[in-house]
DNA sequence: TGACGTCAAGATCCG
DNA sequence: CGGATCTTGACGTCA
């Protein structure tokens, strides 16, 4: 039995992995060509990053090809970039990475509006083309919601099943259905999924907001969903996320909080699962979850994470900074849960000026020998403006980021301090 | 007609 | 002019 963790689309803090886009107004063939080439390169770097960080589950952004299913995009991008796709596909296979895609809430297959349905079909075909060009098999899924209710959910579900017949075999072999937070509960999704003979994806946060009448535990529903996954679908997938404490219901938390997560994990740990985390800090939480459920990893993995977090901790809580340093001293231990517990508390604290200045000066330490006189002058004048309240801490940080880029300070560049 | 969610582009403002 | 901050875009449904 085994559980993998993955994240969606973006890896904040990882150089060269940002997606670009364009608006309809600026979507010339040339511009689109540029953006697609850039995004494919970013995807390649994401794949390599995942491989290097032992992450085996990843959602590819629907924005990979801007207007990928729109007549606005007149490029033959499938042919033009076929070789690039193939190279990335090889890297995906080499990394043993399972990729998926997830069209958003605006792809609605069960709409009563024929145009909306036609666009939804085109959009699903676009997602399939990407996965196909990457040479992935049918275990690379397209996650879809049922759609709207239109005041008559039974009729809307019927329409979904009818329009299902209009999709190509290739698309149908990839689609999996997910419960949403407003209309279709996991029970209703299971119903439709069973009828069409396709897998169901349990989403924990959607479920807590929109539970079915049947009173089963999340683990029971996950077990129900397990029966809809067969050999050609690959390992069962679920979505896990936590409610943001300070935002509206359904909003994802900024990180996966370890304690709450472990309570859930205990209920599914004996299953074979791929768990897609939906969370603001993306790859950071995927690494976190992998580490806190592992009881036999090397402390150097924690030290590597600490290197990236340390200045974000220092600018909030020098006390937590010291505690973690103490915690990581014993090289024979692997105190992942304690490490993340202290970290989470620190990251949720507000930034106070004295602590922030302390952290800024720590980072400045990397440049004080190499910086030019004018760079030094600029940094300290920005620091003074921050101290006196006429500038924000981010403007001082940006100066440090610029210096890190100019002098290629890798230790600083990889830090989450600048996010 | 605005809110919803997402994240980068685009626009504007400031020194 | 560069950097910081605000608004817009693109999608469909529902109140």
User: How distant is C1' of C14 from CA of A150, in Å?
Assistant: 9
Instruction: Please say whether the beta carbons of A99 and A8 come within 8 A.
Output: no
Q: Which CATH number fits domain A3-292: 3.40.718.10, 3.50.50.60, 3.20.20.150, 2.60.40.10?
A: 3.20.20.150
pLDDT value, residue A60: 98
Domain ranges of chain A: 3-292, 300-347, 353-413
pLDDT value, residue A246: 85
pLDDT value, residue A176: 98
What is the distance between the alpha carbons of residues A419 and A406, in angstroms, rounded to a whole number?
18
Q: What is the pTM of this model?
A: 0.95
Instruction: Please say whether the beta carbons of A296 and A266 come within 8 A.
Output: no
Residue numbers of chain A with a pLDDT score lower than 70: none
Is the CB atom of residue A28 positioned under 7 angstroms from any atom of strand B? no
What is the distance between the alpha carbons of residues A230 and A389, in angstroms, rounded to a whole number?
60
Residue A294's SS3 state is: coil
Residue A213's SS3 state is: coil
Burial class from Cβ neighbours inside 10 Å (0-12, 13-18, 19+) for residue A164 reads middle
pLDDT value, residue A355: 95
User: How distant is C1' of C14 from CA of A167, in Å?
Assistant: 27
User: How distant is C1' of B2 from CA of A20, in Å?
Assistant: 28
Percent of chain A residues past pLDDT 70, beyond the cut: 100
pLDDT value, residue A58: 98
User: How distant is C1' of C2 from CA of A400, in Å?
Assistant: 16
Is the CB atom of residue A248 positioned under 7 angstroms from any atom of strand B? yes
- Pull the structure tokens for residue A315: 């600018």
What is the distance between the alpha carbons of residues A96 and A57, in angstroms, rounded to a whole number?
9
State which nucleotides on strand C lie below 7 Å from a protein beta carbon: 3-5, 9-14
Q: H or E stretch including A5?
A: strand A3-8
DSSP codes of every residue in A166-209: TS-HHHHTTEEEE--SSS--HHHHHHHHHHHT--EEEEHHHHHH
Residue A237's SS3 state is: strand
Per residue in A23-36, pLDDT (tens digit) is 999 999 999 999 99
User: How distant is C1' of B3 from CA of A289, in Å?
Assistant: 34
């Amino acid at each position: 039995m085994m559980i993998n963790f993955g994240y969606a689309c973006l890896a904040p803090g990882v150089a060269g992995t940002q997606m670009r886009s364009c608006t309809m107004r600026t979507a010339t063939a040339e511009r689109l060509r540029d953006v697609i080439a850039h995004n494919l390169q970013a995807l390649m770097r994401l794949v390599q990053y995942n491989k290097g960080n032992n992450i085996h589950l990843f959602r590819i952004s629907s924005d990979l090809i801007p207007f990928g299913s729109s007549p606005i995009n007149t490029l033959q991008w499938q042919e033009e970039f076929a070789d690039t796709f193939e190279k990335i596909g090889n890297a995906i296979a080499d990394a043993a990475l399972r990729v998926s895609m997830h069209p958003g809430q605006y792809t609605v297959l069960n709409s009563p509006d024929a145009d909306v349905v036609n666009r939804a079909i085109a959009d699903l075909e676009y997602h399939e083309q990407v996965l196909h060009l990457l040479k992935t098999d049918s275990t690379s899924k397209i996650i879809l919601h049922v759609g709207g209710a239109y005041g008559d959910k039974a009729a809307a579900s019927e329409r979904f099943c009818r329009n299902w017949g209009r999709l190509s075999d290739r698309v149908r072999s990839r689609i999996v259905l997910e419960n949403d937070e407003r209309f279709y509960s996991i029970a209703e999704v299971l119903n439709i999924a069973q009828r069409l003979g396709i897998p169901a994806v349990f989403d924990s946060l959607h479920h807590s907001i929109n539970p079915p009448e049947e009173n089963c535990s999340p683990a029971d529903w996950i077990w129900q969903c397990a029966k809809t996954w067969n050999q050609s679908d690959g390992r069962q997938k679920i979505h896990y996320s936590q409610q943001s404490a300070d935002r509206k219901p359904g909003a994802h938390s900024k990180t996966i909080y370890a304690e709450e997560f472990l309570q859930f994990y205990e209920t599914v740990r004996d299953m074979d699962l791929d768990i897609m985390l939906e969370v603001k800090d993306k790859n950071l939480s995927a690494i976190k979850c992998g580490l806190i459920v592992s009881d036999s990893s090397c402390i150097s993995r924690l030290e590597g994470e600490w290197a990236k977090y340390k200045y974000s901790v220092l600018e909030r809580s020098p006390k937590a900074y010291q505690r973690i340093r103490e915690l990581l001293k014993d090289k024979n231990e692997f105190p992942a849960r304690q490490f993340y517990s202290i970290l989470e508390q620190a990251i949720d604290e507000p930034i106070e000026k004295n602590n922030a200045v302390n952290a800024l000066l720590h980072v400045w330490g990397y440049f004080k020998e190499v910086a030019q006189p004018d760079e030094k002058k600029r940094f300290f004048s920005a620091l003074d403006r921050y101290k006196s309240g006429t500038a924000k801490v981010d403007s001082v940080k940006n100066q440090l980021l610029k210096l890190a880029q100019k002098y290629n300070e890798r230790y600083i560049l990889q830090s989450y301090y600048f996010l």
